[in-house]
């Protein structure tokens, strides 16, 4: 079932309120991941944050098979900013939607192969902070509504990360 605009608006409002209480980038990543899952009922969602080197991203928050216990990730991966679909979204600072990952050579297998992927950069005022990445078992699952709503969530998360003084990459 698709999320309604009011559901998305409500999730964004709740995310914004939760972000105001976050005191670290990791807390912000978990708030974003939780909001995306709640709004869209996705089976898999991971937030990557940009590492201090400005050239790589590491998974710090996830929902789905990567969760080990509580907020611990099992086998968190690190990707170069230009590696995979996630890295492509990071380097272009634009959302990347893939309808069939079997046909996209950028696809990086994580815990299980899924057919659809949507990677949304976390950007504020031209600075990259990370990437929100979702995958789904169905081919062509993600649409423009997903992209727009998740991009709004990523944007307000980027604003909070900037306010916290997190170091972005330009």
pLDDT tens for residues 65-100?
A: 555 555 666 678 999 999 999 999 999 999 999 999
pTM: predicted TM-score of the whole model, two decimal places = 0.91
Task: Establish if 145 belongs to a structural domain.
Answer: yes
Task: Establish if 32 belongs to a structural domain.
Answer: yes
Task: Establish if 31 belongs to a structural domain.
Answer: yes
Q: Which residue spans within 34-110 are E strands per DSSP? A: 44-50, 56-63, 67-69, 72-73, 78-80, 96-98
Per-residue confidence band for 161, with pLDDT thresholds at 50, 70 and 90: very high
Share of the chain above pLDDT 90, in %: 74
Task: Establish if 53 belongs to a structural domain.
Answer: yes
Task: Establish if 19 belongs to a structural domain.
Answer: yes
36-54 pLDDT, tens digit per residue, is 998 998 888 999 999 999 9
Task: Establish if 169 belongs to a structural domain.
Answer: no
The more confident residue out of 152 and 38 is 152
Q: What pLDDT does 63 receive? A: 85
114-131 pLDDT, tens digit per residue, is 999 999 999 999 999 999
Task: Establish if 170 belongs to a structural domain.
Answer: no
Closest among 150, 121, 139, 155 to 37, alpha carbons compared: 150
Total domains, the chain: 1
Share of the chain above pLDDT 70, in %: 89
Per-residue confidence band for 170, with pLDDT thresholds at 50, 70 and 90: very low
Buried-exposed string 1-22: b where 16+ CB fall within 10 A, e elsewhere? eebeeebbeebbeebbebbeeb
* CATH code of residue 137: 3.30.450.40
Residue-range definition of the domain harbouring residue 113: 5-163
Task: Establish if 65 belongs to a structural domain.
Answer: yes
């Amino acid at each position: 079932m698709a999320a309604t605009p009011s559901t998305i608006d409500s999730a964004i409002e709740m995310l914004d309120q939760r972000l105001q209480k976050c005191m670290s980038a990791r807390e912000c990543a978990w708030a974003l991941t939780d909001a995306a899952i709640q709004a869209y009922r996705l089976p898999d969602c991971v937030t990557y944050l940009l590492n201090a080197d400005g050239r790589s991203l590491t998974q710090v928050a996830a929902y789905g098979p990567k969760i080990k216990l509580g907020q611990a990730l099992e086998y968190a991966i690190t990707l170069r900013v230009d590696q995979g679909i996630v890295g492509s979204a990071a380097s272009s600072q634009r959302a990347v939607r893939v309808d069939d990952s079997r046909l996209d050579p950028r696809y990086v297998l994580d815990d299980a192969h899924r057919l659809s992927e949507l990677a949304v950069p976390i950007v504020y005022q031209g600075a990259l902070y990370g990437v929100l990445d979702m995958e789904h078992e169905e081919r062509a699952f993600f649409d423009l509504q997903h992209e727009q709503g998740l991009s709004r969530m990523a944007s307000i998360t980027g604003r909070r990360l900037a306010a916290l003084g997190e170091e972005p990459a330009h």
